[in-house]
Structure 1
Amino acid sequence: MGIPGTDPLTVEVVELIGAVVARYHDEYEQAAAEHSLTGAQARVLGLLSLEPLPMRRIAQRMKCEPSNITGIVDRLEARGLVERRPDPADRRVKVAAATDEGRATARLLRTSLDFAQEPLAELSTQERTALRDLLQRMLGAPAGS
């Protein structure tokens, strides 16, 4: 038995995953730039379009320091895409939340990512479901969740 991860199939799968991630990242950066956003700003806006979050939680999800998030949120707020509000659960804490314009921009960003949507459209529902379940399993999430 060889070293784990060195069999040719595993190496090929890892390289393919890397290629998919690189293409997605490039397209995401391009889509963000078309809205005069950096990739990081677009990712924060995408998170906040789903739910308001405290800075610390945004930083955890983005895997960066809260001070970096403060600057990103400041720039998004200056453009009217995000606003700071008191946290309903603890009014001493501020949460960042997407404005209506911010949610609309996040929707436009998501729909402009052709790389992910076009190839997936070529797969059957059964194939997309299997791919989703396998990816969730790789990430430790229950299949179909």
Structure 2
Amino acid sequence: MTRPAPHVPSAAPAPAPASVQLMDQLAQAAASYYRNFAAVAAGRGLTLMQGKMLSLLRQPMPMRTLADLLACDASNVTGIVDRLEARELVRREADPADRRVKLVLLTESGQRTVEEIRAELMSELSGLETLDEADRHALRRLLGQIFPAEHARPPR
């Protein structure tokens, strides 16, 4: 006669992390990302802010918008654009809809630099490549819940 297997109680699920724990983990992830980003940008002779500006320029953008996205004063943006323009990574041109507004655009060299930075960052964020399609959708959805204004922007 065989005996039934003894009942082993299943482990109770771990309690969900508190919001403050999630916030701390998100802050650690962001800090790690920007440490890597700063190092990759520095490898190309760029500051963190110069690298961030280049990465934002998926399309021509007014300098005021760049200041808002970078959370800095418009005069800082002018200095950053001046330095990037001197390296021929960006150029300025008047907005055809309002000649008073200056648009900042990537040059071909600037576009190559952005592509190089992204490729190097992706090699350091190899965990993203391990996510299947469902996980990618879930991550995007969750980030959109946490940062709804960011999620509303067109994908980069």
Measured against the shorter chain, the TM-score band is: 0.7 to 0.9
Are 1:35 and 2:44 matched, yes or no?
Answer: yes
Instruction: Find the aligned partners of 2:105 and 2:132 in 1 and give their Cα distance.
Output: 36
Q: After TM superposition, where is structure 1 displaced by more than 6 Å over at least 4 residues in a row?
A: none
**TM-score normalised per structure 1:** 0.86
Aligned to 2:125: 117
Report the alpha carbon displacement of residue 101 of structure 1 after superposing the two structures with TM.
0.6
Distance 2:146 2:101 in 1: 35
What is aligned with 2:89? 81
Q: Give the structure 1 partner of residue 6 of structure 2.
A: none
**Superposed, which structure 2 residues align to 1:10-89 within 5 Å?**
10-48=19-57, 50-89=58-97
Structure 1 Cα separation of the partners of residues 124 and 67 of structure 2: 25
Deviation string 1:74-111 (CA, Å, 9 cap, x unpaired) is: 00000000111111111232211110110110111111
Deviates more, 1:20-29 or 1:106-115: 106-115
Contact 1:23 1:115 in 2 (8 A): no
CA RMSD of superposed structures (Å): 1.8
Q: The residue matched to 2:18 in structure 1 has which SS?
A: helix
Shift of 1:13: 1.4
In structure 2, what is the Cα distance between the partners aligned to 1:33 and 1:63? Answer: 21
Shift of 1:114: 3.5
Report the secondary structure of 2:104's partner residue: strand
Q: Deviation of residue 28 (structure 1)?
A: 0.3
**Structure exhibiting the larger radius of gyration computed from Cα positions:** 2
Distance between the aligned counterparts of 1:60 and 1:116, measured in 2?
A: 28
1:3 corresponds in structure 2 to: none
Deviation readout 1:4-54 (Å, 9 max, x if unpaired): xxx853232122111111110100000100110000000111112x01112
Higher relative contact order (CA 8 A, sep 6+): 1
Sequence identity percentage: 40
TM-score by length of 2: 0.80
